[in-house]
Structure 1
Amino acid sequence: MAGKIRHLINRSGRYHARLVVPKDLRGIVGKTELRTALGADYRQALKLLPGAVAQLQHQIAQAERQAGQGRPQAGPARYPLAPDQIALSHYMQRLAFDDELRNDPRYASILVDDMLVVRLREAIAGRARNDELAELVGDQLERFRAAGNIDAAPGSHEWRVIARALCIAELEALGRVMERDEGDFTGTPADPIIKNAALPDEAAKPVSLTGLWQDYVHSRKQAGFMKDGGKRLSPVIESLRKSLKHNDASRITKQDLLAWRDDLLKRLSATTVSTIYLSTIRSVLTWAVNNERLQENVAAGVRQSKPRKVYARERGYTDAEAVKLLKASRAYEPHEDENGYIREKPHLVAAKRWVPIICAFTGARVTEITQLRKEDIRQTEGQWSIRITPDAGSVKTGQYRDVPLHRQIIAEGFGEFVKIAADGPLFHGGTDPTTYARKALRISNQLSEWLRKVELTPEGVQPNHAWRHRLKTTCRELAISDRVVDAIQGHAGRTAADHYGDVTLKTKADAIARLPEYPIRLAEVSPEASGGPLSSCSAAERSLPIPE
């Protein structure tokens, strides 16, 4: 169904041309909108509309010049029109002017210039130079420019297209003038550019950018993603809104996004701009197009090259680094302050003792371990396993998975630690499930800070993620199938074939059982590396949570 005719309104059975005055010009114009009466006949109103709108736009242009104190207006046209629409507007204005002249008795002395007709035909045929076009329709071009309808540079290809369209309109208008001189007022334009010109549809309604974001987040949450309600990425939308200085997603252009990207690069890394900011906007606008909220995704072609990652060493821990870290972790004792009190929370102490060794044998993401609850630890037919589930916080794939525990973890006393632990999270003190993901992330960050502080994190290694790399490397050395390792670590399959069949708990347990134990005899650990004095208690006793 065709949209409403832009700038045409009906009030009490009579038609008017209507133009809203931009907010920044209302103080000069003295009105919020401008109107011109077009009469009660719809067809006649359509004929008069282009000329009336052009006059109203001229008033807006005058106000802009006044606001700019004579400075040329920069930026794109405020009321852009296509060449055929410009030609139609000029044609209708010329006929309206002819009507006015015929009411003046002096009109009889004015004749059509035959040489002008010849020159117009040459221009329409494309044989006129730029200066000749400017002489023929230059004034009209500048009038449309001043009204905010065009912004084409003089002499450009776009400028010549518009100039030739105006020449067609002028020649067609002269044809009507000659017909009227003979008493025929029924003539209509023959040239398709005017005959088939479409009046602009009503401008698209604004589409709230923040509203789009909220709806996008809601749809992602329904699909099991973005359980944080979009909080982590909300600053991206706010940054773009501030850069645009408006909140209308339908007005966003590729140029807007390029300017925003270049501004972000002044204070953020190229990787952050590419993978966080531009990626988020592309996803939101793609969703908007797919859900018929926008016509196109102007962010689709906006990219930012990322620097190639340079690795000066392996990304996983070496054997020596892994053993040193695990020794320090298993021997960890919290410090006492000057008054003999332990200020460190029991959950953080437990995380420092247990999370590294669990990550070492499961290759799990560290937050997947720091969010574990007591009910996620299971023992079936003698086999201990953990269930990594979104119910406990956040899982990148959105799917739960069961991961068997290596015999060395159990030998260290993890089973006893779980049995005496209170219900709920093992490594953070959250009581509200909606906060589990945030608290688990905080513990993982504190764990990373501790490893760096005691110099257990080699340069160029991500302290928690390095276990994922190490497990993959170790399993390849043992010729364990990548498909099995992916199932243990929670990596998505790379091919369609990977999604056929299941990797059972027994298959994963058999693979983990092949992993060698780490030589982490606690007597070899120094007090400095462990973060406190060594305890002579058993592994099971050492794993108990510290009382509040």
Structure 2
Amino acid sequence: MPNFKMPTPRKRPTSDFYWIRKKVPEGLRALVGKTEIWASLGTKDERKALIKIGAVNAAIEADWDRLRKGCSPQREVVPDPFKLTHQDLHALRAAEHVEIRNAWIKDPPNGFRKLQMSLRDDETLRFDAQELLERGGYEVSVENIELLKPLLVRARNEATKDVERARSGDYALSADLRGVPQRTTPALDFVREFENYATKGGLKGGKFGPTAKRWRPKVKAFCDFIGHRDLKRMTTADGYKWIDHLVEQKFAVKSIRDVWIAALSATAGFMVERRKLDQNPFLRLKVREDKSEDDVGKTQQQEPPRKGFTLEEAKLVLTATLATPSDLISVEMRAARRWLAWLCAYSGARVNELTSLYPGDITRGPGRIWCMSIEPSLEKTAQWRVVPIHSHVIAQGFLDYVEERRKLNKPLFYDPDRSRGGKPGNPQFKKVAERVSEWLRGLQIMPSGLKPHHAWRHLFKSVARDVRMDREVEGFIIGHRPKNSNAGHDYGDRWIKTMAAEIEKYPRFRISALYLPAAPHKRRRPAEAKASAARVQKGSEAARTRHSPPSSA
């Protein structure tokens, strides 16, 4: 049972409900994004509040415990704070006045509730100042809190006078707030609203997914370029200035259109949808290519880029997977090096669809055909699909390894117990794929320009055409939906035996190392080799110096 002190239910000047207040531990403040948190207990009854506060407190402590262990995926993204100006201080004072007045003026309080409305003790003022600063996006510093506290006292005094007048039927306001200036911060903060869009706008993977991770710095860079973050002040002309700047910086037209501008347009479109913005200034911005004569001539002379392995390159990579691994690497990494390339080759699956597999995802389908179930994830996987496993992979003993992991009740290619609590947008199974890519590149057998895992997906498509796989069934296998498909594409069930028959058309790779005994692992010592080469070079230079004739004076 965790050991923590039970807090006491508290009242706030702006609410009738009881609240829990907790100070965030020093080591977690960067993750939580606050120094104090308040949570409503949802009741005006003190006895009910005392009952509820235990469960709420335990839930908060459990969340903090998960953060300490690095297991929580809810790590908030906090934009840079705004500078607190003199004008902002008085705008916050007016906001506090209005909030207290509106909370009590409908039913002016008596007795203890009247005292609660006008609380002015130092602790309450400090916590309210902190909350106002956090809510407004300002830096929560001791200096800013001390600047705001006396203005909160003034706001409460004036709001209390308004409520007392209302008790006698006089609703004239004691303070005219019409002359108080607005905050200098954005009316619609683009950076903050992007986080809102990433959370609620249906962005693939949410605010911690790869799309949000890729788009977030683009929104920030655009705001830095035009010099402010107020979406309501941004214009279509700003968008075209940004496009011209990116073109001058030699960014690819496709990248500008599909990433840099897409991030802006999607966020602004969501704000229009939520009625926070009248129109989207980035809608239908055109990014045109430079079609000068010189560029046309160069384009015609360029050979189209190659995306997939050749069969010879594929055999080199598959041969490398059969080498005896070092005892220093984990069981899971050894398995990833051994099986990922073969599974990619015979299924065309995306590598992270495979690195995230559990033993329970490997099952026997109808006709006793072994299959792997691929679930939608943070990747491009749009829907659940079942893919038969090629007989050549089964013949090599892949299912024996699956059964070993099933007994351990652990994923196939990583161990959650060894997680270091990385960022949610870069989960453990993604890191496995990255490590295998680094290993393959280190072997110096990878052609330059090819992606070590995605090249298998392109090769699968090439072989599928060569062996005349049914195009529709091949799309079911790799998870592609033809762009010109209609509702008829989704009619009927995807039979496992039909997909298995098409997969078996893929010819087996003939790798001689499969039929040879495993060679012992040879540990490479690159540092020692470099030192030896340096010694040889130094010796040859010394010899040349000894035998060279002396220079004439």
TM-score by length of 1: 0.53
Match status 1:245 vs 2:227: yes
Query: Is the deviation greater in 290-299 or in 396-405?
Result: 290-299
Pairing of 1:83-162 with structure 2 (within 5 A)? none
Counterpart of 1:488 in structure 2 is 477
1:509-530 per-residue CA deviation (whole Å, 9 max, x = no partner) reads 11112221111131689999x9
1:254 to 236, 249, 252: 236
1:215 paired residue number? 196
Query: Secondary structure at 1:449's aligned position in 2?
Result: helix
The aligned counterpart of 2:309 is 317
* Residue of structure 2 in register with 1:500 after alignment: 491
Instruction: Name the CA distance, whole Å, in 2 between partners of 1:386 and 1:245.
Output: 51
- Cα distance in 2 for residues equivalent to 1:410 and 1:435: 33
| 8 Å Cα contact 1:368/1:394 also seen in 2 | no
- Kept in 2, the 8 Å contact 1:347–1:428? The answer is yes
Flag structure 2 segments of 5+ consecutive residues without an equivalent. Answer: 1-82, 92-185, 291-298, 525-553
Q: CA deviation at 1:268?
A: 6.5
For the pair 1:329 / 2:318, whether they are aligned, the reply is no
The letter for the 1-side match of 2:373 is: R
- Written as runs of structure 1 = structure 2, the 5 A alignment for 1:4-23 is none
Q: Does 1:401 align with 2:382?
A: no
What amino acid sits opposite 1:316 in the alignment?
G
1:478 paired residue number: 467
Q: Which residue among 363, 383, 387 is the counterpart of 2:348?
A: 363
State the distance in 1 between where 2:433 and 2:456 align. Answer: 13
Q: Does 1:411 align with 2:395?
A: yes
Offset of residue 221 of structure 1: 4.7
Match of 1:234 in 2: 216
Three-state SS of the structure 2 residue aligned to 1:233 is: helix
How far does residue 370 in structure 1 lie from its aligned partner after superposition? 1.4
Partner of 1:425: 411
Is 1:344 the counterpart of 2:334? The answer is no
1:388 counterpart (345, 357, 374): 374
Amino acid across the alignment from 2:264: I
Is the CA contact 2:243–2:256 (under 8 Å) kept in the aligned structure 1? yes
> SS in structure 1 opposite 2:458?
helix
Deviates more, 1:230-239 or 1:299-308: 299-308
Show CA shifts across 1:345-377 (max 9, x none). 332221111100000000011111111122211
User: Which amino acid is the alignment partner of residue 342 of structure 2?
Assistant: I
Q: Distance in 2 between matches of 1:283 and 1:268?
A: 23
Distance in structure 2 (CA, Å) of the matches to 1:437 and 1:374: 22
The structure-2 alpha-carbon separation of the partners of 1:441 and 1:369, relative to structure 1 and needing over 3 Å to count, comes to same
Question: Compared with structure 1, are the counterparts of its residues 297 and 420 closer, same or farther at alpha carbon in structure 2 (3 Å cutoff)?
Answer: same
Alignment correspondent of 2:441: 452
Q: CA deviation at 1:425?
A: 2.2
- The match for 1:276 among 256, 259, 272 is 259
1:455/1:224 CA distance change after superposition, 3 Å: closer
When residues 373 and 459 of structure 1 are mapped into structure 2, their CA distance, relative to the original with a 3 A threshold, is same
Q: Does the 8 A contact of 1:286 with 1:297 survive in 2?
A: yes
Q: Which amino acid aligns with 1:476?
A: R
The alpha-carbon distance between structure 1 residues 346 and 471, as it changes in their structure 2 partners (threshold 3 A), is: same
1:138 is aligned to none
Q: Is the 8 A contact 1:328 1:525 kept in 2?
A: no
Contact between 1:311 and 1:460, CA under 8 Å: does it hold in 2?
no
Q: Radius of gyration: which is bigger?
A: 1
Structure-2 separation of matches of 1:525 and 1:299: 61
Q: Distance in 2 between matches of 1:498 and 1:364?
A: 20
Aligned match of 1:466: 455
Instruction: Give the letter for the 1:210 counterpart.
Output: V
1:518 corresponds to which residue?
509
- CA displacement at 1:319 relative to structure 2: 1.6
1:287 equivalent to 2:287? Answer no
CA distance in structure 1 between the partners assigned to 2:517 and 2:259 by the alignment: 42
Letter in 2 for 1:521: S
Q: 1:245 to 1:398 in 2, by over 3 A?
A: same
1:400-444 CA-partner distances (Å, limit 9, x unpaired) = 111110011111111000111232322223358995952222222
1:61-111 deviations in Å (ceiling 9; x for gaps):
xxxxxxxxxxxxxxxxxxxxxxxxxxxxxxxxxxxxxxxxxxxxxxxxxxx
Inter-partner Cα distance in structure 1 for 2:277 and 2:202: 21
Change (3 A) 1:439 1:264: farther
Give the number of aligned pairs.
327
1:323-366 superposed Cα distances (whole Å, 9 cap, x missing partner): 121111133412xxxxxxx4433322211111000000000111
Q: TM-score, normalised by structure 2?
A: 0.52
Deviation at 1:505, TM superposition (A): 1.9
Corresponding letter in the other structure for 1:508: M
Which amino acid is 2:320 matched to? A
Instruction: Provide Cα deviations, 1:460-482, integer angstroms capped at 9, x if missing partner.
Output: 42221111111112112222121
Contact 1:278 1:303 in 2 (8 A): no
Give the letter for the 2:499 counterpart.
K
Q: Distance in 2 between matches of 1:461 and 1:448?
A: 11
Aligned equivalent of 1:354, options 339, 343, 361: 339
CA distance in 1, matches of 2:202, 2:328: 38
Q: Contact 1:377–1:387 at 8 Å: present in 2 too?
A: yes
Kept in 2: contact 1:282–1:300 (CA 8 A):
yes
Contact 2:205 2:378 (8 Å CA) reproduced: no
Say if 1:440 and 1:475 are closer, same or farther in 2 by CA, change over 3 A.
same
User: In 2 relative to 1, CA 235–345 (structure 1 residues): closer, same or farther, beyond 3 Å?
Assistant: farther
Q: Contact conserved, 1:388 with 1:395, CA < 8 A, in 2?
A: no
User: Shift of the alpha carbon at 1:263?
Assistant: 4.0
**Which one-letter code corresponds to 1:378 in the other structure?**
T
Give the letter aligned to residue 412 of structure 1: Q
SS in 1 for 2:393: helix
Matched AA of 1:492: R
Cα pair 2:374 2:384 within 8 Å, conserved: yes
